[in-house]
Structure 1
Amino acid sequence: MVVADSETATILRVKGPLEFRCQLDSTDVLLVQKVISRTFETLRCQVKSESCVLAVCDSPVIIWPNKDTYATPEEITPSTLCEDIYQWIRADEQESSGKKSTKKKSKRSLTMSVINLRLMVEVTKPGPVSAPILIKTVQKSHFVRATLPVDCVVRTASSDTIKDACEQLMEALTHQLTEMEKVTLENMKGMTLLVPEPVHFLLPEPKGLVTVVYPTGVPDSQLVTLRKELHQQFELPDDRPYFRRSNAYHFPNEPYKDGYLRNPHLVLTHPTLDNGKVYLVQGIYSYHHYMQDRVDDSGWGCAYRSLQTICSWFQQQGYIERSVPTHKEIQQALVDVGDKQASFVGSRQWIGSIEVQAVLNHLLEITSKIMFVSQGSELASKGRELANHFLTEGTPVMIGGGVLAHTILGVAWSETTGQIRYLILDPHYTGAEDLQVITDKGWCGWKGPDFWDQTAYYNLCLPLRPKVF
């Protein structure tokens, strides 16, 4: 299923567990497969039934999509626009204070584009309740029970009503259960079933958001054939990863558990240059700076932090699976490659662009180019080279000069006038993860050529993308 992204679109995301239960009275593969298929068909019927319920998270809104799109509160009708649901979603401060007001709220902010819903099924059936009848049967059988983590997304236009959206959601849920059935049958191991898991990926426009069902527990290294088929299906090149789990899309309304800020530069306004163009880092990175991770590296760790930001980019683009290296791991890597003595580990010694290149190669198997600049005044003439790097590679660049290191995330450059501005992520910041402070105070911001010491030498480490998928 593909969902194209758009600024005016509302993304509806439905999550919820569905219980998969079946009794396998035979070990015959074909018979077992038929039982599993019948069980999935029962689940599809359950989703299509009137007992299916969609509850809008953090709101009093409940929708019965297969019961003429009946909803509560009563003000909500099948013809209500999807985007009007935002009026009923509680603000964060209300949720944290425990208040449960059902009064309408103000319109959503421009940054809020996802409505989360919970998939539920009514247990109580209408009509009189009859006395239970118990029947005891003794036989040997294999009972299979699993929880299917249903997770569907659909895109709705600004003119779509709740009725329109429910029709799309029901179709998406049914399709996902069919994909789950396919993955389950293809990955059976004897009488053991691997639970299917949906994973969302954001592909280059105009393809948008795509959901793929993978078998849980099977590593990406064993899904090469499937990923190749997906690259062919969506006409994607085979030199970049798009469908590795580590490259899964992170929804904007979900907090990152590690606490690091992602892509703070996105809230900045681009500089205006005569006939200028902006060339930016491609993808997602984490902002690493002084004093994070309970490490007091103020005054010596700026290059380490810039390196960590670069490593986070390769991790979050799906090129590597290892965690971002710590200061000690970086130091140990330099000892292992023979660049430093053993006493370097645990020290507070600086590193530069050459050491960053060596660590990327040793720990991540990432190669880099080094750009040498004899004095800062020459950086203003490097617009074409930097623009080409961000256009073709799109990785963060580490620049070191004297005792300072910074991360370059992009350039605004005019080929006709030679004007240039640098998008700088400053690792010398020591405060909390406050996006407004970081951008207002220029810790992440656009800088002119005078930002550099005009007489100091600089080395730039430009990491290259590996040609893998």
Structure 2
Amino acid sequence: MVVGTDPCHIGDILRVRGLLELKCLLDSTDVVLIQKNISRTFENLRSHVNSESCVLSVRDSPVIIWPYKSVHVTPKDISPDTLCEELHQWIQTDEQDVSGKKSKKKSKKSSGARLIILNLMMDVTKPGPLPAPVLCRTLQKAHFLSTTLPLDCVVCISPADTIKNACARLLEALTNQLCEMEREMLRHMKGTTLAVPEPFHFLLPQAKELVTVLYPAGVPENLLESQRKEFHQRFELPEDRPYFRKANAYHFPNEPYKDGYLRTPHMALTHPNLDDGKVYLVQGVYSYHHYMQDRMDDNGWGCAYRSLQTICSWFQQQGYVERRVPTHREIQQALVDVGDKQASFVGSRQWIGSFEVHAVLNQLLGVTSKIMFVSQGSEMATKGRELANHFLTEGTPVMIGGGVLAHTILGVAWSETTGMIRFLILDPHYTGAEDLQVITDKGWCGWKGPEFWDQGAYYNMCLPQRPKVI
């Protein structure tokens, strides 16, 4: 049994994305009239989407769909009644080999959710001869609103869904999103200043489909708290942890992370089998930080810094903080600022331990921690209950330091009846490339027995606590 993970499973996903131009003449300073003009423009956009001009193209494939022309599909050997899952055979993606050369390969079947991305386009050509263009020039003073709406809709599909019924659901979602965009734009309107709504998709606990919400572009998280509270109440979610912050947005399959760090490598591992045992894991997403990253040679002294960075990335990617993961120098400066170190510590290669990790988390992130210690490594085998409870209730990565080594504990497999225990360890001493297979095959992220710990060494563990916020 696995406890403390995010037990959400969804089927294949259709995602349609596109940009629509919103152009509206605001020929009055009257707020009511401006709102009416904006609403009329949105109504025209919805009519345009629900017309024969609407075209959907499947990304990385030759498939083009005209939903309102009897769901005409090219190539011709695909029909409207073709199952959506058969579209994968037409999709080709860029794959890079060890020499760096790119090649086109067909989409492969996988056990997890698969993604089909469609581009929303508008057909501007009409059959028959084109009329002669007519130009009109009108001189008048007026405000003109011109902006781009970033439409982004998703539907989850089953193996029995055809192209025809899936497109109907997508177009309904697009229409609803335009209605929501209109409401959000008018809601956040200040005078003639308008904020463009941005869609974000979230996978809630126990959910089988994604939930899409809109936030005004450029508005910081602290000003969106009342809106998040509405969402928590609507979906009956607790108000002690974030689910609707932008950082909580769903990460789509095969979507690359721009920073280059590996995410949650432990997800590629098989859980150990213990008699009458349960597995308790870190909850959510984190980045794997280790030696020699970021053009920083910290081999031999920076393991605790890297473990701390992994913990900071967890708080960032769960939406608790918006600041980036601190550098070694920023970590050292934080310890100087709290009075833990002398000014000469900044720029040095001195080690830090779990108490320093606790101090930095509090100083830079406002996160408190509990410290748990054992007088010798042989006692780690007795800490199953405490660690299981931590991952069940807090779900944060744990930093452990002993002797001259530091590691990150991501979970435990523990049997309450037999006392058998295994530790899920993320090792910051790795110095290689971001190669998931090497990292998991070679045990840099892997399950370890109690003998992993130096049986005679003293260990301190820093257990970060979740802030009670939404």
Contact kept? 2:290, 2:427, Cα under 8 Å: yes
Tell me how far 1:106 sits from its aligned partner.
6.5
Deviations 1:7-29 (A, max 9, x none): 5x110111110000111111111
| Structure 2 counterparts to residues 355-370 of structure 1, below 5 A | 355-370=356-371
The range that moved more, 215-224 or 375-384, is 215-224
What's the CA shift string for 1:343-385, capped at 9, x where partnerless? 1111111000011001101111100000010000100010000
**Cα separation, 2, equivalents of 1:123 and 1:435:** 46
| Aligned-partner SS, 1:144 | strand
Relative distance call for 1:445 and 1:349 in structure 2 (3 A) is: same
Assess if the C-alpha contact under 8 Å between 1:10 and 1:82 holds in 2: no
Q: Deviations over 1:241-265 (max 9, x none)?
A: 1111222222122100000000000
8 A contact 1:52–1:65 mirrored in 2? yes
Worse overlay, 134-143 or 371-380: 134-143
Aligned counterparts, 1:301-312, within 5 A: 301-312=302-313
Amino acid at match of 2:294: D
| Aligned partner of residue 232 in structure 2, secondary structure | helix
1:6 aligns with 2:4: no
1-side partners of 2:321 and 2:220: how far apart? 13
Q: 2:256 and 2:113 mapped to 1: Cα distance? A: 13
Unpaired runs of at least 5, structure 2: 1-6
Distance 2:435 2:104 in 1: 28
Corresponding residue number in structure 2 for 1:56: 58
The alignment partner of 1:294 has SS state of coil
Query: How does 1:235-384 map onto structure 2 within 5 Å?
Result: 235-384=236-385
Offset, 1:207: 6.1
**Offset at residue 6 of structure 1 (A):** 3.3
Q: Which residue of 2 aligns with 1:457?
A: 458
Residues in 2 aligned to 1:367 and 1:114: alpha-carbon distance in whole angstroms = 39
Uncovered stretches (5+) of structure 1, i.e. residues with no partner: none
On the 8 A contact 1:78/1:163 being kept in 2, the answer is: yes
Paired position in structure 1 for 2:26: 24
Q: Quote the offset at 1:136 in angstroms.
A: 2.2
CA displacement at 1:202 relative to structure 2: 1.9
Aligned CA distance change for structure 1 residues 30 and 308 (closer, same or farther; 3 Å): same
Residue of structure 2 in register with 1:44 after alignment: 46
Equivalent-residue separation in structure 2 for 1:63 and 1:199 (angstroms): 25
Deviates more, 1:368-377 or 1:239-248: 239-248
Distance (Å, rounded) in 2 between the aligned partners of 1:390 and 1:417: 20
Q: In structure 2, do the counterparts of structure 1 residues 346 and 385 end up closer, same or farther at CA, with 3 Å as the change threshold?
A: same
Secondary structure at the residue paired with 1:14? Answer: strand
Deviation for aligned residue 1:32: 1.0
C-alpha distance 161-5 of structure 1, shift in aligned 2 (>3 A): farther
Q: Compute the displacement of 1:430 (Å).
A: 0.1
Deviations 1:102-121 (A, max 9, x none): xxx46523346111111110
Change (3 A) 1:267 1:389: same
How far 1:94 moved relative to its partner?
Answer: 8.7
1:15 aligned residue (14, 17, 30): 17
Return the alpha-carbon distance in structure 1 between the equivalents of residues 247 and 455 of structure 2: 41
Corresponding residue number in structure 2 for 1:169 = 170
Spell out, residue by residue over 1:48-89, the C-alpha distance to the aligned partner (whole angstroms, 9 max, x if none).
Answer: 111111111111111111221111111111111111111111
Alpha carbons 2:94, 2:102 under 8 Å: kept: no
Q: How does 1:103-118 map to 2 (within 5 A)?
A: 105=106, 107-111=108-112, 113-118=114-119
CA contact (8 A) 2:196 2:217 kept: yes
Give secondary structure in 2 for the equivalent of 1:334. helix
Percent identity, please: 74
Distance 1:204 1:37 in 2: 35
Q: 1:55 to 1:321 in 2, by over 3 A?
A: same
Q: Secondary structure at the match of 2:304?
A: helix
Q: CA deviation at 1:98?
A: 7.5
| 2:454 match: secondary structure | coil
Amino acid across the alignment from 1:401: G
**Residue matched to 2:4:** none
2 CA distance for matches of 1:5 and 1:290? 33
How far apart, CA to CA, are the structure 2 residues paired with 1:189 and 1:170? 31
Q: Residues 183-222 of structure 1: matches in 2 within 5 Å?
A: 183-206=184-207, 208-222=209-223
Q: Which amino acid counterpart does residue 365 of structure 2 have in structure 1?
A: L
Distance 2:52 2:271 in 1: 51
1:447 lines up with 2:441 in the alignment: no
Higher mean C-alpha displacement, 112-121 vs 155-164: 112-121
SS of the equivalent of 1:148 reads: strand
Query: Once the 2 structures are TM-superposed, how far is the Cα of residue 208 of structure 1 from its aligned partner?
Result: 4.3
Whether contact under 8 Å (1:288, 1:427) holds in the other structure is yes
Residues 373 and 457 in structure 1, CA contact (< 8 A), matched pair in contact too: yes
Instruction: Specify the alignment match of 1:431 in structure 2.
Output: 432
Deviations 1:213-263 (Å, cap 9, x if unpaired)?
A: 111112121112111111100101111011112222221221000000000
Other-structure match for 1:392: 393
Q: Deviations over 1:419-438 (max 9, x none)?
A: 00000000000000000000
CA distance in 2, matches of 1:462, 1:107: 40
Residues 99 and 285 of structure 1: CA distance in aligned 2, closer, same or farther (over 3 Å): closer
1:156 counterpart = 2:157: yes
Structure 2: distance between partners of 1:50 and 1:281: 49
- Partners of 1:60 and 1:88 within 8 A in 2: yes
Structure 2 partner of 1:91: 93
Give the drift of 1:334: 0.7
1:312-353 deviation per Cα after TM superposition (whole angstroms, max 9, x unaligned): 000000000011010001011111111111111111110000
TM-score, normalisation: structure 1: 0.96
Task: Give the paired residue count.
Answer: 462
Partner SS state of residue 116, structure 1? strand
Query: What is the DSSP-based 3-state SS (H/G/I as helix, E as strand, rest coil) of the residue aligned with 1:92?
Result: strand
TM-score (norm 2): 0.95
The aligned runs of 1:228-239 (5 Å cut-off) are 228-239=229-240
